[in-house]
Amino acid sequence: MKTTKLVMLVMTIAATLFILIPNLSWAADDGATLYKAKCAMCHGADAAGKPAMKAPSLISDDAKKLSDADLATAVAGKAKHPAGVKALAADDVKAVVAYIRTLQK
């Protein structure tokens, strides 16, 4: 009887974790979440940039003219970015670029 209750408890915990873990995943952040966490502090929530910080606008005509590859290079490769931005995975950079494109419309 105790074994059955223990098995049921373990199965309940396992099912709960199976349901919750994908929602708590930091690796599965979307572009908007990543932008807000890593980019908005310098480029602004609306991506208009902050001239006082020398953070360029990401919604300017010049930024709109950049290809996705060029924008991804700018997001991932600039020396002036904080370390957290430089460490973004390639998929995360693509997600941020896709989000920036939605802000440019």
Q: What is the CATH number of the domain that holds 84?
A: 1.10.760.10
Across the range 75-80, mean pLDDT stands at 70
If one compares 96 and 29, the residue with the highest pLDDT of the two is 96
Grade residue 97 by pLDDT with cuts at 50, 70 and 90: very high
Asked if residue 16 belongs to a domain, the reply is no
For the question of whether the overall pTM of this predicted structure is more than 0.85, the answer is no
Asked if residue 62 belongs to a domain, the reply is yes
Q: What is the dihedral of CA 91, 94, 100, 101, to 10 degrees?
A: -140
Tokens of 41: 């502090």
Asked if residue 35 belongs to a domain, the reply is yes
Tokens of 19: 């349901």
Task: Count how many domains the chain has.
Answer: 1
Tell how many helices (H) and how many strands (E) occur in the chain.
7, 0
Asked if residue 40 belongs to a domain, the reply is yes
Residue-wise pLDDT tens digits, 33-55: 888 988 898 899 999 999 888 88
The domain of 53 spans 29-103
Asked if residue 43 belongs to a domain, the reply is yes
Asked if residue 84 belongs to a domain, the reply is yes
Asked if residue 14 belongs to a domain, the reply is no
